[in-house]
Amino acid sequence: MIRLETPKKFAGLVHQASQVARQIFRPISRRYDRAEHTYPRELDALSALLDGMNAAGGHSGAGAAGVRRKAADGATGNRNGANLSTVLGTMELCWGDVGLLLSMPRQGLGNAAIASVASEEQLARFGNRWAAMAITEPGCGSDSAAIRTTAMADGDHYVLNGEKIYVTAGERAELVVVWATLDRSRGRAAIRSFVVEKGTPGFDQVRLEHKLGIRASDTAAFVLRDVRVPRANLLGDPDIDAGKGFSGVMQTFDNTRPLVAAMAVGLTRACLEQTRELLSSAGVNIDPLRPAYAQSAAAAEFLRMQADYEAARLLTLQAAWMADNRKPNSLQASMAKARAGRTATEVSLKCVELAGSLGYAEGDDGHGLLEKWARDAKILDIFEGTQQIQLLIVARRLLGKSSAELK
């Protein structure tokens, strides 16, 4: 049975993440929002600390955990493991800054893919390196099954050709996990992910994107022209099985969607805390024990947002806990991502509205960050599957429909 309080063994991790968010992320948040594409050197020392924690057997809590369906140690019973610690740490760090979290070395979405799908040998080769993930293409956004990038077998290698856009941390990462199809005629069953080393001939970065939010994080576009990737760099089973679909690569989303939900939860809490402070200073009393209709309109609106925040947080914890306990969590991962992403966008914009000019103006203190958080929030409802795609997945799961039956 899932328990809703923070496990005692993760209390230290949550405290450390909170201190990092408060003492490192928040003070430099505005600086790197303005200096887009500038790498935050302050994160290097933090990454070294995380590496030390991992070497000592701890969990970084910053995004590189995976969803592995079998317990390597054969353990049974309830457990609170890497996925729960990751989302708890992510919530705290994104209270500080989402873009800076996405800029942390060796904590990329590609690392989550490797942790979820890689063999033990691949984990040994790639586990300690920074990996981005490349899914989206110019003609393929939310429908990952429509991927056009191809991977053709050629001896001991696969040859990749195609184009990838919106690759988070694409410029800074050492590796990129590229999604490609082994056979376009076989549809989603032929989709696989490949680890491509930066510097591989034919794998060229063509531009960096200028973005609305998460500007501390770099977002790159790549062209792949006859990129030769060793067969040993394919993640998962190379055989095409129509009965399994592309469950191997989709398993990655079971991990990364709760992770993105956790980012949204952390940002939402930051907005609510700053807005409560501003409302309190303006003489608005918020009493959760009184009916909303008996309070001011601003207080009633705040209580509604607080309830949405709690729902998003609990759904996120549930999805992570299920992953730790080797329970299928695709439905819960999509529910958490959908609810948290929508909550972050709606709450951040409403907080800007309630704060008035203090919420709309750009500044370096907490009040001046409300407009930034509203910009950062939007991506959390888009990447790793849009709001609409998450609701479609939830509907399919609840109704027992296939992707062909419910589009």
**Active-site residue list:** 384
Q: How is residue 347 written in tokens?
A: 């709450």
Strands 191-197 and 150-154: unpaired
Other beta carbons less than 10 A from residue 192's beta carbon: 23
The C-alpha atoms of residue 127 and residue 131 are separated, in whole angstroms, by 9
Helix (H), strand (E), coil (C) string for the chain: CCCCCCCHHHHHHHHHHHHHHHHHHHHHHHHHHHCCCCCCCHHHHHHHHHHHHHHCCCCCCCCCCCCCCCCCCCCCCCCCCHHHHHHHHHHHHHHHCHHHHHCCCCCCHHHHHHHHHCCHHHHHHHCCCCEEEECCECCECCCHHHCCCEEEEECCEEEEEEEEEEEECCCCCCEEEEEEECCHHHHHHHEEEEEEECCCCCEEEEEECCCCCCCCCCEEEEEEEEEEEEHHHEECCCCCCCCCCCHHHHHHHHHHHHHHHHHHHHHHHHHHHHHHHHHHHCCCCCCCCCCHHHCCHHHHHHHHHHHHHHHHHHHHHHHHHHHHCCCCCHHHHHHHHHHHHHHHHHHHHHHHHHHCHHHHCCCCCCHHHHHHHHHHHHHHHCCCCCHHHHHHHHHHHHHCCCCCCCC
- Whole-angstrom Cα distance, residue 103 to residue 91? 15
